[in-house]
Amino acid sequence: MKKQLIVYLACLTALPMVAQTATAKKTPGAQSGGAAAAIEKADKDRTAAIVKADVDALDKATGDGYVFTDSTGRVTSKKELMDDFKAGKIKIESQDVSDMKVHAYGNTAVETGKLVSKGTRDGQDAGGTFRFTRVWVNHNGTWQTVAFQETKAQ
C-alpha cells in the first residue's frame, strides 16, 4: 500500500513541475511553437496548484475523465485525486523534472519526462525518481490533463 501511495503522489505532481524546471524540446513530429509553450504554461500552473493544494485550480487543469495509472497498475480517477487534496492526504515538498518532451497533435499533446519528487501521502514518504507520460487535451482553449502514467526509475 505504501508503495502505491508513493507512486500515486509522484504521478500527481510530476507534470506540473515539468514546466518550472524544464523546457519543451522540439523533436521530429512535435508541433513547434504554440502548443508546446501552452503545455509548459499549463504544467507550471498545475504545479503551483499542487504545491499550494489549490483544489480549484487543480480541478480546472484536470479533465473529468482523468485516469492516473501508477507503477503498480493502480488506477486513480479525478474525483479520488481531488478528494485526497481536499483531505490533506497529499503534500508536495518539491519536484525536479528533466528530459521533458512535448509532442502536439492538434488538440492533443503527449508529454514525457523524468521526475524526482519529494512529498508525502497519508503521512508516508511518497518521493522517488520516475519516468512519466502525460496526455493533454485542449478543451475550449484550455489545456487539461486527461491521463498520466509513471514508472519507477532505477
Its domain, for residue 124, covers 2-152
pTM for the structure as a whole: 0.75
Res 2: pLDDT? 53
* pLDDT tens digits along 51-65: 889 999 999 999 999
Is residue 150 scored above 80 in pLDDT? yes
In 22-126, which ranges are continuous DSSP H helix? Answer: 34-52, 55-60, 78-86
* Residues paired with 151 in a beta bridge: 131
Res 122: pLDDT? 81
What does each C-alpha distance from 139 to 1, 78, 108, 116 come to in angstroms?
34, 16, 10, 29
Is residue 17 scored above 70 in pLDDT? no
User: What CATH number is attached to the domain comprising 11?
Assistant: 3.10.450.50
Q: What is d(CA 128, CA 57) in angstroms, rounded to the nearest whole number?
A: 25
Total domains, the chain: 1
